[in-house]
Amino acid sequence: MFGKLASVVERVLIGVLTVMVTAIMIQIVGRYVFSSTPSWTEEVARMCMAWVTMLGSAALVRRDDHIAVTAVIDACPPTLARALLALRDALMLVMAGGLAYYGYGLVLVGGRRTSPALEIPMFYPYLAIPVGAVLIAVMLALRRLECAERDVKSERAP
């Protein structure tokens, strides 16, 4: 089930990224070929960028592929390294919780406005923040559970 969630997030991410690239390409062609840019392309690209950022962060957390400086972790003994990684993950959970909480507040307050070009509620682009934060927390928890499960299995193996 956990793999299915990660797969769904990655597929949605690919779809949103495709829409964003298409909107940017339409904007470029409009500007340089027709000397007239459609007003909605920049707005769609910006909204998609918010979703790509948050969904991409969740996908990277799941894979443990975020950029990290590991010099301290690499220099520590394994037990201390595991403790530091657990502390890092706990801090990430706190930050994701704060992002979800305040992002939800932004959705409630800012979501009543409409976008200038598309005239859609800003609820949709703002929703990327709390949804992405919750997904980051879920993916982080799933990764930690899988690591703990792997550690237990490796300790039991002869």
pLDDT digits (tens, 9 = 90+) for 105-149: 999 998 889 999 889 999 999 999 999 999 999 999 988 887 766
Predicted pLDDT of residue 147: 72
Report the pLDDT value the prediction gives residue 39, as an integer from 0 to 100. 87
The Cα–Cα gap between 148 and 125 comes to: 35
Are the CB atoms for 46 and 19 separated by under 8 Å?
no
101 burial via Cβ count (<10 Å: 0-12, 13-18, 19+): exposed
Residues of the chain with pLDDT under 50: none
> What is the model's pTM?
0.85
